[in-house]
Structure 1
Amino acid sequence: MTTLSTLDMNAHSYFEALAVAERRAQHSFFDQHVVEDEDLGYFALDEGDYNALPAHLASRVVHTVHGAMLDEY
């Protein structure tokens, strides 16, 4: 039973992080990433917070939502 509970919590944190990333991407020039973490489950990360995404984070990205703002007029 513990396994099912863990899967439910991980799925829940994934979909929460995905929703945050999708909301942020609508108002950002930068990509939004869903990152897997052993302690937190999943969390959303704004690529604009880093010059280049560090390797230790880039290797844990499981989904990317592209920024929807355009800098072209």
Structure 2
Amino acid sequence: MTTLGNLESGSNSYFEALATAERRALHSFFDQHVVEDDDLGYFALDEGDYNALPAHLASRVVHTVHGGMLDEF
């Protein structure tokens, strides 16, 4: 699920998106990405929403938090 925070500029929206990605990664098998957008600033994106990230999104990923859950048990 793509999470959009308040439309803030610069570092505020980055840190908000990063906090969202880190929080969600703790309970997910999928990586959480912080994506830069010209209109929205930054937002958190769950890799599980896509089979593989489309090129137009992958090229805008600025940080990835690896999913914290393992399905090996």
TM-score with structure 2 setting the length: 0.88
Identity %: 85
CA distance in 1, matches of 2:18, 2:60: 14
CA distance in 1, matches of 2:46, 2:38: 19
CA distance in 1, matches of 2:15, 2:35: 12
1:1-73 pair list within 5 angstroms:
9-73=9-73
CA distance in 2, matches of 1:50, 1:18: 19
Q: Which 4+ runs in 1 deviate beyond 2 A? A: none
Aligned to 2:4: none
Indicate the structure (1 or 2) with the bigger Cα radius of gyration: 1
Structure 2: runs of 5 or more not aligned: 1-7
Report how many aligned residue pairs link the two structures. 66
Q: SS where residue 16 of structure 1 aligns? A: helix
Aligned to 2:5: none
Query: Cα RMSD over matched residues?
Result: 1.1
CA distance in 1, matches of 2:49, 2:9: 27
TM-superposed CA distance for 1:35, in Å, is 0.1
TM-score with structure 1 setting the length: 0.88
Structure 1: runs of 5 or more not aligned: 1-7
